[in-house]
């Protein structure tokens, strides 16, 4: 597999060489959601859409992937858990996915977290004082079109045929990024990890209701972090839960 930076023109300038290099990286970062998409390949290849219907996984991004990096994806299994790892050509571990086989999931989070008055949709700069824990974002809807799904599938060159009908998990996780950028101006930020629960298969043509709420914010080594909880529903059915962690202010 080859990493591709399809976000060079994105508002998030961590995907541009100039800004990424100023922050200490050798070049523009490939989106973490794309690396996640590559990591899901062996799980979906083995279990098919059953894995996208009733399974959970946790991804951590340890080192950046750069445009045209050759990626090696390896999978090991231990006592019913799967460990999928992504290395670059130098053998550096870039990302780690721990996943379950299809099966029973933990109980859903209490959806009353979305009950408080939502944040104003004024899209301020994302700084410490504008991030408010437990204040939901305004609800919105996402239509999952054939063209959109093809774009997300082709961005990571995933050859699995089921994605003609099933929404790629790359798109589902990318929507968590979009939830942040809908609400804030975020000049340069880094996705560092996510926990995902696939509860019901999401198909091309579905329309999802997206709810999101910041659970916490914290500072470590000069970086400022946010942890966001998202729930996607289709006609009242909870399809997907995501706990999404990002550095919204990168230490300089």
Instruction: Confirm if 217 and 133 have CB atoms less than 8 A apart.
Output: yes
| Residue 138: per-residue pLDDT | 97
| Residue 17: per-residue pLDDT | 75
Reading the block at residue 183, the tokens are 């609400």
What CA–CA distance (Å, rounded) separates 129 from 120? 14
Say which CATH topology domain 13-249 has.
Thiol Ester Dehydrase; Chain A (3.10.129)
Instruction: Confirm if 206 and 145 have CB atoms less than 8 A apart.
Output: no
Show the 3-state SS of 200-228.
CCCECCCEEEEEEEEEEEEEECCEEEEEE
| Residue 145: per-residue pLDDT | 98
What CA–CA distance (Å, rounded) separates 192 from 101? 23
| Residue 119: per-residue pLDDT | 95
Cross-strand bridge partners of residue 233: 209, 238
What CA–CA distance (Å, rounded) separates 84 from 224? 28
What CA–CA distance (Å, rounded) separates 63 from 192? 9
E-assigned strand segments in the chain? 55-61, 72-78, 81-87, 93-100, 140-143, 190-198, 207-220, 223-234, 237-249
Reading the block at residue 137, the tokens are 């974002």
| Residue 88: per-residue pLDDT | 96
Cβ neighbours, 10 Å, residue 17? 17
Instruction: Confirm if 208 and 233 have CB atoms less than 8 A apart.
Output: yes
What CA–CA distance (Å, rounded) separates 176 from 188? 16
Domain locations in the chain as residue ranges: 13-249
What CA–CA distance (Å, rounded) separates 206 from 37? 20
| Residue 8: per-residue pLDDT | 66
Q: Which residues of 34-47 are buried (b: 16+ CB within 10 A; e: fewer)?
A: bbbbbbbbbbbeeb
Report which of 173, 167, 164, 215 is spatially closest to residue 197, judged by C-alpha positions.
173
The ranges of the chain with pLDDT < 50 are none
Element (H, E) at 2: none
Pairing of strands 72-78, 55-61: unpaired
| Residue 9: per-residue pLDDT | 67
Instruction: Confirm if 150 and 212 have CB atoms less than 8 A apart.
Output: no
| Residue 180: per-residue pLDDT | 95
């Amino acid at each position: 597999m080859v990493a591709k930076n399809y976000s060079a023109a994105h508002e998030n300038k961590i995907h541009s060489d100039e800004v990424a290099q100023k922050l200490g990286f050798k070049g523009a970062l490939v989106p973490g959601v794309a690396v996640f998409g590559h990591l899901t390949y062996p799980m979906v290849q083995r279990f098919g859409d059953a894995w996208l219907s009733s399974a959970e996984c946790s991804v951590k991004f340890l080192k950046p992937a750069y445009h045209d990096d050759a990626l090696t994806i390896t999978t090991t299994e231990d006592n019913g858990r799967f460990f999928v790892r992504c290395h670059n050509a130098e053998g550096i571990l870039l990302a780690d996915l721990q996943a379950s086989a299809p099966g029973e999931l933990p109980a859903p989070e209490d959806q009353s977290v979305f009950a408080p008055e939502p944040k104003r949709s004024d899209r301020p700069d994302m700084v410490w004082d504008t991030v408010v824990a437990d204040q939901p974002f305004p609800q919105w809807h996402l239509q999952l079109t054939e063209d959109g799904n093809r774009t997300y599938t082709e961005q990571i060159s995933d050859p699995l045929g089921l994605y003609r009908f099933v929404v790629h998990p790359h798109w589902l996780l990318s929507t968590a990024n979009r939830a942040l950028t809908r609400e804030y101006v975020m000049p340069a930020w880094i996705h560092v990890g996510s926990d995902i629960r696939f509860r019901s298969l999401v198909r091309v043509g579905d329309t999802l209701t997206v709810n999101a709420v910041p659970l916490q914010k914290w500072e470590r080594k000069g970086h400022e972090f946010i942890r966001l909880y998202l729930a996607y529903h289709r006609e009242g059915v909870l399809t997907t839960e995501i706990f999404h962690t990002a550095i919204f202010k990168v230490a300089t």
